[in-house]
A and B are shown apart, each in its own frame.
Chain A
């Protein structure tokens, strides 16, 4: 039983009242970080929502140029995330590194105003914005994991991701409101987005406490030491399996495209489909995080992928119309709720405290890179074999990998609560 650790064995055998009381407690620091993420996500989703229209309609870029800009900044994130994690560990300053990342992204909103119609300048600003996002992710997740009791990690990440998703919900609404009030001024959206982002930075500095203790114990891990994280067997297995699963995961846009092709939903609803996923994610992030703490994070993580397999099968299955959309989006939301924060919660305890941020960056980067490759692969399969065979093959391979991961149980000998 891979959840058997001294701690959880104790609490399982111990006093139920104490346990349920603790269950309700989520550290103030985690809540504060959740608020920061929520506010920051409002800001960034405001911009994301208007950016394509602004670039193509406002500035007259061709969709092709837009694609180039977009590709440019996705590549930036991966490397920067690793750097952010390492620097945060090395100087033991999670809050400062995360704060710099949040601050940089905030300033970039003003940069969009300043860039005007210069495509080069806009590209640079977007790259800087992505850099900020990449920098802050790992130290933030490390702070969440260091601010939580190890047995409640799943729940903590669930709370954080739920708040984060609330922000993603509100962002486009705020953008619409500002556009409406300003009679369609994109500049007003960018400026408001800056103000909201600045508020996020403020909340971070006022309400979030840093974890300097770890750094005092064990100072300045070297690059080699960060890279050496992969020598930790349990962590290496998590990275490897997360990346492998990422490699056979169908990206969101393909799920929505599939759904659009299969169901007779009016075109105008197409862009609302992701809200369905986000809504389910938002509702289930905390319960599933909690479940992960109780029955095992790896089980829930794999269960999420099973939900994705089911979602894919639904998409090529017998249902139709609204029913199809509801079932598929619900399963897709379960996939997110059971995997995104849960993976961090699973990885956290296998990492030494002084290398927490580096490790989280590593597992995230591995997964993200694998998912990027998977998008290309799935796109190629779609083009080569057409839609249904591509989906069925992907679902089949994913199921096989999930099964293998269930048999392998990467955390079994870890001796950690996971």
Chain B
């Protein structure tokens, strides 16, 4: 009897804990199933969007509400007008030349897996495959033929934590898929560079669908690397360039430049003239951790953290003049519909 009276409160507590866990999980499920409550910004849902759409900017809607995560579109001239959203959800999005690229983390899967989907101009699926890791960057070449992405790859609970990145390329015409470019032969100062710790991220393709630029990190430094897809070789151009983004005319790259050792705010947006090597810091003074996107030849778009875990899209002139301006509240992954 004594034993029983001792175990009864324990049993009750166990049941209470189990009930609480099940209850909370159920509550979270209901909340997710209802997709939040209402959109906090004006949204026109369920639209048939197409790419490219001149005069429009496509992006990932990050404003809270049922349309959170969906691909959205606003006119460049009036980016504050109600956004039109499609029934396509992505964590990273890119669109160019009549194709779109969507990276979506598969929910509730450990270790993380990302679904990589190439879509046609009406956002219908052309090809989809999955890769290990979490979405980081997505890009298409100006013609839309070359799709490139970067994924974060995490160690799991036993391994020491820490991230590495894995950048890959898909030639949508030939179907050739390079899951990671880390084996590409790369030259530094005219000599073949070998290191076990090379890491690549932030691919940007030029209009000839062969030449691409990306960031290589090794031995504590980052480099801007220029590479050719078909010859499959690469060379280092210069140091301290991350997440390059080639301008529409192919003469400049916008990138994030490490300016401070402070881990809380390490980067500034800058533009590099490829022919002359001239670097210009842009007017945005906050630390930007994004691969910028060119709105046109004169302006770049990028995302900064916004309110309550959301993010906002900002614009800044690409020549170092002017000032940063809010472009879209509650957005990320902007892709301008250039013709």
Interface set of A (CB-CB < 8 Å, partner B): 45, 48-53, 56-60, 62-68, 70, 116-117, 168, 171-172, 175-176, 178-185, 187-188, 191-192, 195-196, 198-199, 202, 206, 251-253, 256, 261, 267-268, 270-275, 277-278, 375, 382-383, 386-387
Contacts and interface: CB of A to CB of B under 8 A. Distances in A.
Interface in B149-170: 152-163, 165-166
Nearest to B305: A60
Given A188-B24, A256-B155, 9 more contacts: A50-B110, A176-B110, A187-B24, A191-B24, A192-B21, A256-B159, A261-B196, A274-B159, A383-B219
B32 A253 contact: no
A184 B25 CA distance: 10
Interface residues of B, number: 60
Contacts of B308: 117
Contacts of B311: 60
- Most chain B beta-carbon contacts within 10 A, residue among A48, A172, A185, A387: A185
A256 B195 CA distance: 17
Contact of B158 (A182, A185, A277, A387): A277
A393 B263 CA distance: 33
B74 interface: no
B67 interface: no
B29 A56 contact: no
B17 A188 contact: no
B33 interface: yes
Contacts of A66: 161, 163
Interface in B1-35: 6-7, 10, 13-14, 17-18, 20-21, 24-26, 28-29, 31-33
Contacts of A179: 107-110
B116 interface: no
A184 B107 contact: yes
Interface of B: 6-7, 10, 13-14, 17-18, 20-21, 24-26, 28-29, 31-33, 91, 105, 107-113, 131-132, 134-135, 152-163, 165-166, 179-180, 194-197, 219-220, 263-264, 266, 289, 305, 308-309, 311
A57 B163 contact: no
A183 B33 contact: yes
Contact of A387 (B28, B196, B305): B196
A200 B18 CA distance: 13
A45 B13 CA distance: 23
Nearest to B180: A267
Given A252-B158, A386-B194, A181 B25 contact: yes
A199 B17 contact: yes
A385 B160 CA distance: 22
A206 B17 CA distance: 16
A166 B143 CA distance: 52
Contact of B157 (A182, A206, A274): A274
Nearest to B309: A117
Contacts of B14: 199, 202
Contact of A52 (B18, B131, B163): B163
B156 A185 contact: no
B108 A183 contact: yes
15 contacts: A49-B110, A52-B152, A57-B112, A62-B289, A179-B108, A179-B110, A181-B26, A184-B107, A184-B108, A251-B160, A252-B158, A270-B132, A272-B111, A277-B158, A386-B194
B28 A53 contact: no
Contact of A271 (B91, B131, B159, B195): B159
